[in-house]
Chain A
Amino acid sequence: MSAILPPAERLWWKHPIDRVEGTWIALAFIWCMIMFFMMVLWHVYGEQNLSTETYKTTPDAFMGKTQAMVDQYTVRTETDMEIPVVAPPAGSDVYLISRLWSFWPILELEKGKTYRLHLTSLDYNHGFSLQPANINVQVVPGYEHVLTVTPNQSGELAIVCNEYCGLGHHTMVSRLYVR
């Protein structure tokens, strides 16, 4: 009898379990339950939970809302492309466009304040990878994902696109300021 031969006892589900296996199964089961409830508990007590607030959107609708924010809160422009740097008030809705191959506009947030950050893509899938804070979120076209974020460190951060989006993928990188 071996693993490549039929079991000798016809009723394999009546095979006895050795203590070494029983003990291990019990330990592994407890660990699995701990891991499962850890996710649930973090939703109650933890502070890093990804929002699931999502709306269907279109490039025009999202562009309109972003443009309105840019018109109202631009403080300066940066780089040769004159990308607006936008400093919206704490607690407000903040919009970030992902498209081939740039993020628009540049955001300036305040440390310790909470914002509703709206993400979408105007074309392909993109990635929102905030570095070095290391927060990574998928950006899917047609869907407006609203994250509630509270920056906890000040400085100049980078937003890197980490979903492959074509030849210029490696040039798709932007800044985010936290004051």
Chain B
Amino acid sequence: MANATTYRICPRSGLQFEAQAEKLILANAVAAVVFLLIGGVLAIGVVLTRWPAVHWLEAATFYQVLTAHGLDMLIYWIIFFEIAVLYFCASTLLRCRIATPRIAWLAFALMVIGAVVNNIAVYQGASSVMMTSYVPMMAAPSFYLGLILFAVGALIGCFVFLGTLVIAKRDKTYQGSVPLVTFGAIVACIIAVFTIVSGAIILIPTYLMSIGVVKHVDPLIYRMIWWAFGHSSQQINVAAHISIWYLVAAVVFGARPMSERVSRGAFLLYILFLQLASAHHLLADPGVSTEWKVVNTSYFMYFAVLASMIHGLTVPGAMEVAQRQKGYTKGLFEWLRKAPWGNPVFSGVFISIVGFGFLGGISGVMMGTEQLNLIIHNTIYVPGHFHATVVVGTTLTFMALTYYLIPTLFRREMIAPGLAKWQPYLFGFSMYFFCLVMMGAGTLGVSRRHWDMAFSGSAMAYEWPGAAYMMMGLVGIGGIVAIVGGAIYIYITVGSLLWGKRLEAGATSQKVTPIPPTAPSAAAQTYGSMGFVAPGSFVLAIVFLVAFVLYYFINWKYLSTLWGMS
């Protein structure tokens, strides 16, 4: 079977695709986009209900729609896409065949069945338990069963990825170390295995409880282990989308990492410390000690934050170095001004980097500070934060990558390239705005996962300040614009796949063409000169640090005005 496959070299990118891997990447990416479409349609219901002046859906429908929106976006869209990225980073970047394609198809089938079963359970109405499904509130058994099937499929996918790495090593398709992007994908995969196993540990007993075999699952233990799944799944995203940032820097600018040691070292910090972040969700909980909270919520001593801050410099830094080598050396920012802003692959990633850092990163560290968590726990600040990390960070990056994959992997000419040029700006900036006003409403205390901020039907309704109502109205407007931006992405992607002009596949061969060994170039040796090779990125990083410090201490100031608590 090993020799029954073919390899083609894409004439546009020079990438080598193995036939089986190519089909698997395509299938997983298409499944991802289908769930993005479903999640996007559901998002209309969510924002139009939380927009106080519209308040569209009934309570029961709203909670049902919100549950499905969370699952489809945070789990299905992202993990299907990530499996595609893993296969790409192993098989395509290392130029080898994919391991056990039949088992990879089995994994795909399990994931599709699981996602569909879980979605149906939610639409049947007895499983409006939110994505988190905190016990003792129970969903239908098929809700948990679907999630478990999906998780098993994804876990198998991770092992197919790892097996593919072994094949590449054995067949010597590359020499030396794996590329940085593949290295990042390995980090994502390791985090994914931890994540999925945690999910299994808590969802299997919960499933057994839903069919009456197990009597009791402790609510606090559930919260702790569920978040080792729920938060960690977002850490897969971080590792995956940062790998893609490096990938886009490489394909758009020909950029190489400023220092392999720094970038890989930062990825290694993720493996060691990123998983502790599940503690963020338990800072306002009973039963866990202060020491446990402080150590875990800070990723030991903020070493994972350190890693993200490093990537935040080195990704734009790599682009800057490449641009400066092309001659864009004037001032601090000529390299950035002359960047290909009309190319959605680049603009999407750059808007993602800035938003992920300034909005998602800073807010995430603030709310993950043990004491500061008191002022935002379970307010709409939380979804404000994670839309900045997951939507601006991960989803927008995946969209940008899709624009790169349409001609190379899908072999189609992109329909409506003019529209694609604008899509990252429309989607990215409306999401910036959406996240900001959501965080604004959260700072005023507005609850997340809440059908009616007017508390209709309650004898003791609380009157939120007018500013909170205004912010929630703006959330509605920003959300609708973002949904339009997302719809354009789906139109371009699906449209290109269906109606785009077919592009030439490139030469096909029975044999693998290994990656030629890269000779250490003269330029490589000059790296690490004691010069400041990326002054512009450094200035951007300093601006980021100043914003971070100010916002951090403003929140401590706010906290100090609260009731005394000890």
- A94 vs chain B, min Cβ distance (A): 13
Interface stretch, picked from B151-159, B178-186, B347-355, B418-426, is: B178-186
- Chain A residues lying within 8 Å of B318, measured Cβ to Cβ, are 3
A166 to B126, CA, bound (A): 11
Assess whether A20 is in contact with B450, with CB atoms less than 8 Å apart.
no
| Contact residues of B between 181 and 225, Cβ < 8 Å to A | 181, 218-220, 223
Given A20-B537, A32-B305, A136-B377, are A7 and B220 also a contact pair (CB < 8 Å)? no
Q: Does B331 contact A (CB under 8 A)?
A: no
| Contact residues of B between 360 and 389, Cβ < 8 Å to A | 365, 369-371, 374-379
- Chain A residues lying within 8 Å of B369, measured Cβ to Cβ, are 35, 38-39
Interface string of A1-42 (1 = CB under 8 A from B): 111111111101111111111011101110111011011101
- Chain A residues lying within 8 Å of B458, measured Cβ to Cβ, are 170-173
Q: Does A160 contact B (CB under 8 A)?
A: yes
Which B residues contact A (CB, under 8 angstroms)? 59-60, 63, 93, 130, 134, 136-137, 174-181, 218-220, 223, 246-247, 249-251, 254-265, 282-290, 293-294, 297-298, 301-303, 305-306, 309-310, 313-314, 317-318, 365, 369-371, 374-379, 444-445, 447-453, 455-462, 464-465, 515, 517-521, 524, 527-535, 537-538, 541, 545, 548-549, 552, 556, 559-566
- A164 vs chain B, min Cβ distance (A): 4
Assess whether A170 is in contact with B456, with CB atoms less than 8 Å apart.
yes
- A27 vs chain B, min Cβ distance (A): 6
Which A residues contact B (CB, under 8 angstroms)? 1-10, 12-21, 23-25, 27-29, 31-33, 35-36, 38-40, 42-43, 46-52, 54, 78-81, 114, 119, 123-125, 127, 129-138, 140-145, 147-153, 158, 160-167, 169-175
Would you list the 9 A-B pairs with minimal beta carbon distance, nearest first? A16-B528, A158-B462, A145-B286, A150-B564, A32-B302, A162-B447, A12-B260, A136-B377, A2-B250
Assess whether A1 is in contact with B256, with CB atoms less than 8 Å apart.
yes
Partner of B93, one of A4, A16, A166: A4
- Chain A residues lying within 8 Å of B460, measured Cβ to Cβ, are 78-79, 158, 173-175
Assess whether A10 is in contact with B375, with CB atoms less than 8 Å apart.
no
Given A3-B250, A15-B527, A170-B455, are A137 and B137 also a contact pair (CB < 8 Å)? no
- B181 vs chain A, min Cβ distance (A): 5
Instruction: Name the CB-closest residue of A to B366.
Output: A35
Assess whether A7 is in contact with B180, with CB atoms less than 8 Å apart.
yes
- Chain A residues lying within 8 Å of B370, measured Cβ to Cβ, are 39, 50
A134 to B285, CA, bound (A): 16
Instruction: Name the CB-closest residue of A to B253.
Output: A2
- Chain B residues lying within 8 Å of A38, measured Cβ to Cβ, are 369, 556
A160 to B32, CA, bound (A): 37
Given A3-B256, A36-B301, A171-B455, are A8 and B524 also a contact pair (CB < 8 Å)? yes
A132 to B463, CA, bound (A): 10
A12 to B182, CA, bound (A): 14
- Chain A residues lying within 8 Å of B306, measured Cβ to Cβ, are 25, 28-29, 32
A54 to B293, CA, bound (A): 15
A59 to B244, CA, bound (A): 51
